[in-house]
Amino acid sequence: MPLPTDTDTTSPTYLRDKYAIVGVGETAYMRGSGRTTRALATWAVRNAIEDAGLKPADIDGMLSYQSGDSVFSPFVAGDLGIRLDFYMDVFGGGSSTEALCGMAMGLIEAGMCRVVVIFRAMNGYSQVRIGGTGVRAAAPISGDMLHSRTYGWQSAGQMFSPTFMRHMYDYGTRPEQVAAVKATHSEHASNNPKALLKNRVTVEDVLASRIICKPLHLLDCCLETDNANAIVLTRAERARDCRHPPVLIRGVVGRCNKPRMDMHYQHGPISTVAGRFAREILWRNSGVGPQDVDITGSYDAFTFTTMLQLEDYGFCKKGEGGDYVSDGTIRLGGRRPNNTSGGHLCEGYTHGINMVIENVRQLRHDVDDSCPPGPDGRRLHTYDYREGGCRQVRNAEVTANLGWAMPGTGSAMVMRRG
């Protein structure tokens, strides 16, 4: 949709559209990469720099996030011959990408560097498993975890489920409504040649899959994946010289929290998530609202996380998230498609960065589906969304990525076509 002309002036409006994502890159999504996270990261960063039409020597800042399961920036930079003026490797999973984009803007704004690469590399299937089995489940229990892991309350699914269950209790949300998120994302993934799971599944398939921990069936959960992803961020004026149409960052909010982030369940309502607080910053900084957004990237660690965030960022009324995700709105061809790549449920799990990459490609009007390339090398999109076909959203102008760390913490970013 076109942007509104009158925008709020109480926030740092001078930052709106001042920074851009100019390059995106990734490895394949795999189960059993057979490579180190250092090798995966090196490939993804190299691909992103090339996508931007830049050279390694143009990069002078690097940020990454991890949970003790990945390579650090200096090794990746060294392997690509990059001399850094700044780097930082932070602890974090979901919600880190959008937060680091905001930090990269601040770094450049502060004059500390000029072109920043952000990456995430993980062997989430073949090394440190994202589901928590193996090394993580065997570690001794101490500190705050005495009040959680001791009770068999450890994995992301186990930790978040009391929130999901309470939403069903508070608002009457039904399993089949939420299962529609997986069915929808599987349709999107069937048009994404790089998705790990490309087969379409139905709501019935989700409900018939085995229970992991209530209310989550196996198909309500994302895919443990080996992969690396990277993005290149710089000033908008620099972006004009890059290979692709620039994708401008309109506004960000990073790692915004509910009260009692140490144990957010102490502060209710527990069926409300951090998006309730983050939205106040996101929409104010962006100068747009939910009604202006063409595509969402609402984090789908689980079907429920997509629904809860869309609701609390204001894409529907509180309590109506179940209707919103099951009435066709979030499908390709619907009013506001979500996770057009198939997201974490189908493309692969990356802690959120692949959803930002997908929206960058959408805003370039050049997603990597199966449509044939035209004379200029860009795909000739058909917009028919049949299985194995197009997944480009027509006239995409504004996207919103809604990152999730846990019910009490989230980040978000609005981007627009430059």
What residues are labeled active site? Answer: 299, 349
Which C-beta is closer to other proteins: that of 84 or that of 159? 159
Binding mask 219-258 for other proteins (x = CB under 8 A): ----------------------------------------
Instruction: Strands of 3-54 (E only): list them.
Output: 19-26
211: contact with other proteins by CB under 8 A = yes
153: contact with other proteins by CB under 8 A = yes
Coil, helix or strand at residue 281? helix
| Dihedral of the alpha carbons of 300, 329, 418, 380, in degrees to the nearest 10 | 100
Which 313-342 residues touch other proteins, going by CB under 8 A?
none
Q: How far is the C-alpha of 182 from the C-alpha of 161, rounded, in Å?
A: 17
For strand 211-213 and strand 216-217, is the pairing parallel, antiparallel, or unpaired?
antiparallel
DSSP 294-325: SEEEE--SBHHHHHHHHHHTTSS-TT-HHHHT
From the list 256, 257, 275, the residue with the least C-alpha distance to 314 is 275
Coil, helix or strand at residue 406? strand
Which C-beta is closer to other proteins: that of 116 or that of 165? 165
Number of residues that bind other proteins (CB under 8 A): 46
204: contact with other proteins by CB under 8 A = no
165: contact with other proteins by CB under 8 A = yes
Q: At what angle do helices 96-109 and 353-363 cross, to 10 degrees?
A: 70
303: contact with other proteins by CB under 8 A = no
Contact (CB, 8 A) for 380 and 279? no
Which 259-298 residues touch other proteins, going by CB under 8 A?
260, 262-263, 265-270
Which C-beta is closer to other proteins: that of 161 or that of 350? 161
163: contact with other proteins by CB under 8 A = yes
- Using CB under 8 A, which of the segments 205-213, 227-235, 240-248, 365-373 binds other proteins? 205-213
| Residues at the interface with other proteins (CB under 8 A) | 131-133, 137-138, 140-144, 146-155, 158, 161-163, 165-166, 168-169, 174-175, 207, 210-215, 260, 262-263, 265-270
